[in-house]
Amino acid sequence: MKCPFCGHFDSKVIDTRPTEEGNTIRRRRECLKCKGRFTTYEKIESQPIMVIKKDGTRQSFDRDKIIGGIIKACEKRPVSYEKIESLVDEIEKKIQNSMTREISSRDIGEMVMEKLKSADEVAYVRFASVYREFKDLQSFAKELETILKKK
């Protein structure tokens, strides 16, 4: 590791500890030449995940899009931003752990609906009505009946 003070390439690790999230290691180092101390971070190199859209195009996975959709569904509902972030963290972790580099937007939408159903049923219905593109009142009522039967 190159020293940021003198440019020397040899240093020793003084302290190592994980960050709070647990996905990064923080290392305190000391330059063997100038004795300057500096911090480095080590994290797992992740592969980008591509989302296959309905029209067949591909784009990079963007958690902010999921957060935006959930926020719209949860508008004026008792769902905190922390809860929304937690739901998205769970979805993102599930996608990362799937070991696939491509996922369909349909699969992501299903995951969002699954999480919303347990978090807030009204937000779930709002999201589902846009996501499933209900064509008429009958299909919307059918979805509501399904929810009520499970209760």
pLDDT tens sequence for the chain (151 residues): 899 999 999 999 999 999 877 778 999 999 999 999 999 999 877 778 999 999 999 999 999 999 999 999 999 999 999 999 999 999 998 998 888 899 999 999 999 999 998 899 889 888 988 877 777 777 778 777 877 777 6
Q: Do 39 and 54 sit in the same domain of this protein?
A: no
- With a threshold of 0.85, does the pTM exceed it? no
Q: Do 38 and 103 sit in the same domain of this protein?
A: no
Q: Is residue 75 in a domain? A: yes
Q: Is residue 1 in a domain? A: no
Q: Do 70 and 117 sit in the same domain of this protein?
A: yes
Q: Do 126 and 142 sit in the same domain of this protein?
A: yes
**H helical segments located in 1-151:** 63-73, 81-97, 105-119, 121-131, 137-150
Which residue range is the domain that position 20 belongs to?
11-43
Q: Do 23 and 80 sit in the same domain of this protein?
A: no
Which contacts qualify for 54-60: CB closer than 8 Å, 24 or more apart? Answer: 54/105, 54/106, 58/102
> Total domain count for the chain?
2
Q: Do 77 and 142 sit in the same domain of this protein?
A: yes
